[in-house]
Amino acid sequence: MWYKRFKEDRDSMESDPHSGRPSTRTPENFGRLKRAINANWRLTIRKLEDDLGIPRTSVSEILTEDLGMTRMAAKFVPRLLTHEQKEFCAKTSQDMIQADINDSNFLKQKITGDESWVYD
């Protein structure tokens, strides 16, 4: 088959264009997924697939690659903090610094697990 095609003056190894399935990674689907997640952030990929009629792989790719979300405890949340969340983190950090200034043993009594929790 390939020999015949090159004999007929074909000069490329690339495949000819073909229609295939339509892409489900469209701006309309981005918006639909974003609205669904904003309305209920506890939705799973399987539930989104069932509700919106978008294949599971496309749902996952849109959420992670196109909308910049990540999985947290089996739910999708934005990777970036909102302005209010950043202000809260800054205020909390300032309060902890002030508490350490007022009490030199303050930080010695704390065990930190990660950025989101401080244990007594």
Give the separation between CA 75 and CA 14, rounded to whole angstroms.
41
pLDDT in tens, 7-45: 777 776 666 666 667 778 888 988 898 888 888 877 888
Counting residues of the chain whose pLDDT is more than 90, the rounded percentage is 2
Give the residue-averaged pLDDT of 100-105: 85
Among 1.20.120, 3.30.300, 1.10.10, 3.30.310, what is the CATH number of 24-80?
Answer: 1.10.10
Cα-based distances in Å from 9 to 2, 16, 95: 11, 14, 75
Q: What is the mean pLDDT of the chain?
A: 77
Q: pLDDT tens-digit profile of 70-89?
A: 766 555 556 677 788 888 88
User: What is the maximum span of the chain, computed from C-alpha positions, in angstroms?
Assistant: 86
Domain ranges for the chain: 24-80, 83-119
47 pLDDT above the threshold of 80? yes
